[in-house]
Amino acid sequence: MLVQRFAAYSEWRAHLSDVLEQFATWLSDNELSDAQTDRRIAHLLENLREDRLHVAFVAEFSRGKSELINAIFLPIMAIAFCRRRLAAPPCARPS
């Protein structure tokens, strides 16, 4: 459940970035943009790109923190690894 929420948050950020970029293009195409608006949109896009989610796990010694972290994040890392391999050009893929 938590993994899906992390993924949904990431997808939401990507979608919002796309919408902001489309909005900036629309403003420019309709000659409605100005320097201040361009800077604000650029700042918003930069914040979305640089956004980090911090998660802390606190418990007594030997209470399963590492197991919980592995259970949550290893599937995410495996999915990201597979996506990177699939996105690589065929000549760059290991055989």
Structure tokens at 78: 């495996």
Any idea where the domains of the chain sit in the sequence?
1-54, 55-95
User: For each of the chain's 95 residues, which pLDDT tens digit applies?
Assistant: 677 887 888 889 899 999 999 999 999 999 999 999 999 999 999 998 887 777 787 888 877 788 777 777 776 666 666 666 666 555 555 55
> Whole-prediction pTM value?
0.56
Res 7: pLDDT:
81
| Residue 48 structure tokens | 């979305």
* 86 DSSP assignment: H
